[in-house]
Amino acid sequence: MNRWRGNPWAVLLTLSLGFFLTLLDLTAVNVAIPSMIDDLHASLDEVLWVINIYILVLAALLITFGRLGDVRGPRAMFIVGVAVFTAASVLCALSQDPAQLIAARALQGLGAAALMPQTMTIIIATFPAERRGTALGVWGAVAGVATIAGPTLGGLLVSTAGWRWIFFVNVPIGAVVLAMAVTLVPDIRHGTRRRLDILGVVLAATTLVSLTFALTEGQRYEWNAAIWALLGGGVLLLVVFLIQQGTRQQSEPLLPFVLFRDRNYAVMSFASATVQVGMIGLFLPVMIYLQSVLHFSAIKAGLVMAPAMVVSALLSPVAGRMADRLGGKYILMTGLALFAAGMAWLTLVADVGRAWWEFQPALIVAGVGIGCVFGPMVTVAMYNVEPTMAGAASGVLNTIRQIGTVIGSATVGAVLQNRLAGSLRDEAAKQAAGLPASVRDQFVAGFNNTAKGGLEVGAGQNGTAFQPPPGTPTSLAHHVQQAAASVFEHGVVHAIRPTLALPIAVIAVGAVSCLLVRRRQVDSPRNTQEAVDAGTSA
C-alpha cells in the first residue's frame, strides 16, 4: 500500500468514496419516507426533519470545518469526519422513534461537515494544474451519481431488508474509506493558522435553523403569526450575518467576499444552489407519489430512477472533461435546460394509474441534464481560484450548495404539505357528493383535519383519513373506503403538480444565469500548461 500513498488517483478515489458516502443518504432517505412514516408512526413534517436536520448541520458547519482543516490538517479532519459519520449511521439504524432518528441524523451531518470541505482542498493540493480540472470534474460527477444512485440503492435496501439498512450499509463503506484514508492520503499542511469566527458561525446556524423550522412546520401551525415572525427573523439574521461578515473581510471571515469578485465562481455558486433545489424537488414528491399513489414497492420506485442514473453516470465524466477542455458555459446551460424540461414532462405524465415505463422518457431527459451539470459546475467554479484560497472556496461553494438543499427541502416540503391539505379537502368535497348524507359531513371533516398534527402520507396511509363509524353496513363501508382512497390518490397527484413547478422554475433561472459565465478557453490551467509545453518543445 505504501507505494500508492500520495498517488493522486488513489487519493482521488479515497476522497470520492467519502464524498459519495455523505451524499448517498440524502436521496436514499427520500425513497424510505413512506416506510419510515409507517414504521415510526411519524408525520410528514417529522420525516422532513430527518432530511433537513442533516442538511442543516452540514450547511451550518461546512465553512467552520474548512477552517479547522487549515489548523489541524485536512487529512486529520477527513478521517475524523468519516469516523463520526459511520458511528452516527449505526445510531440512525437503531433509532426507535422520530426524535432519536433526527438526533442521530444531526450527528451524521456533523461528520459530513467535517469531511466534505477537506476533499476539494486535498484534491487541489495533490493534483498539478494541468490535471486539476479533470480531477475536480470527477469529484463533481460523484455528486451527480450519488444523488441519482440514492433512490435505486435505497429502494433495493428498503424492499429487501428494511429502511434501517440504508444506514447500516454505510458501516462497511465507512470502514473501507477510513482504512484508505490512513494508508493512502498524505498529511498536507498549509502552515497557516486560522482564527475561527465564532459569531459568524452562530449567526449562520441561527439563520438556517429559523428559516428551516418555519418552512417545515408552517403547515402544522397553519402559518400563524409565530411562523411568519420566525421567517422574518431568519431574513433579518441573514442581513446581520452579511453585515458582520463585511466588517471582518480583513480578518479571516467565514464568507470571503473576494471569492465573488470572480464572476464564474459567483454564478456557479448560485447555479449550484438552484440545482440542489431541483434535485430535492424531484425526489421528495415523486417518491411519495410512486409509493403512496401508484403503490410501487420501495425497490420498484427506486428502479424507476435507474435508467436516469445510468445515463447520468455515463455522461458526468465526459461532460467534466469537455468543460475542462472547451469551457463549461453551454454544457451547463444545456444540462440545466434538459433537467428542467424532464421535470416538466414528468409533471404532465404524473396521474393516477400510471405504469412505470410511462415515466422513463421524462426521467431520461432529466438524467441527461443532470449528467451535464455536476462535473462542469465544479470545474467552472474553481477555474480562476488561487490555490491559497482553495480551502475557503471549497467550504463556501459546498455551503451554498447545501443551503440550496436545505431551503429547497423545506420550501418544497412546505408547498407539498400546503397543497396536500388543500387538494385533499377539495377532493373530499367532490367525492362526498356521491355518498349518503349520513356519512357525508364526517367524511369531509376527516380530510379537513388532515393537516392538524402533521400530514401522514406513508405507503400504508392510502385513504385512512376517514374510517366509517362502527355499525356501518359492509357495502356502505366498502363504498366509503373506495371514495377515501380516491380522494387520497387524486389529492396527492393534484398537490404534486404545483409542487414540482417550483423547482422547475428555479432550475430555469439557474440555466439563464449561466449566460453570465465567462469563457476561459485560453487561460484554463490545462491549456496554459499545454501552451508552455509547446513553447518549450519549440
pTM: 0.75
Query: Where does 289-373 have alpha helices with state H?
Result: 298-304, 306-326, 329-349, 360-371
Q: pLDDT 10s per residue in the chain (538 long)?
A: 566 777 888 898 899 899 888 888 777 887 788 788 888 888 777 887 888 788 778 877 877 787 778 777 889 999 999 999 999 999 999 999 999 999 999 999 999 989 988 887 888 788 876 676 677 767 766 766 776 677 778 888 888 888 999 999 999 999 999 999 999 988 876 555 566 778 887 888 788 778 877 876 776 777 889 989 999 999 999 999 999 999 988 877 778 888 898 999 999 999 999 998 888 777 778 888 888 889 888 778 878 888 887 888 778 778 877 876 777 888 999 999 999 999 999 999 999 989 999 999 999 999 899 888 877 887 788 778 776 676 677 778 877 887 787 778 778 888 888 888 888 888 888 888 888 877 777 777 777 665 454 445 544 455 445 566 666 677 777 777 788 888 888 888 998 989 999 999 999 999 999 999 987 644 444 443 443 343 333 3
User: Residue 253: what pLDDT?
Assistant: 79
C-alpha cell at 127: 493534483
Predicted pLDDT at 241: 92
pLDDT of residue 295: 86
As a whole number of angstroms, the distance between CA 186 and CA 316 comes to 27
Cβ neighbours of residue 229 closer than 8 Å, sequence gap 6 or more = none
User: Quick one: pLDDT at residue 537?
Assistant: 35
Q: Reduced to 3 DSSP states, what percent helix, strand and coil does the chain have, rounded to the nearest 5?
A: 80, 0, 20
- Which residues are CB-contacts of 333 (< 8 A; sequence separation ≥ 6)? 511, 514, 515
Contacts for 247-253: CB closer than 8 Å, 24+ residues apart: 248/197, 248/200, 251/195, 252/67, 252/194, 252/195, 252/197, 253/197, 253/200
Contact partners, residue 51, CB within 8 Å, separation at least 6: 26, 29, 30, 284, 409
Q: What is the pLDDT of residue 44?
A: 74
pLDDT at 419: 87
Q: What are the C-alpha distances in Å from 321 to residues 135, 139, 285, 529?
A: 9, 12, 33, 16
Supply the pLDDT for residue 534. Answer: 34
* DSSP tag of 469: P
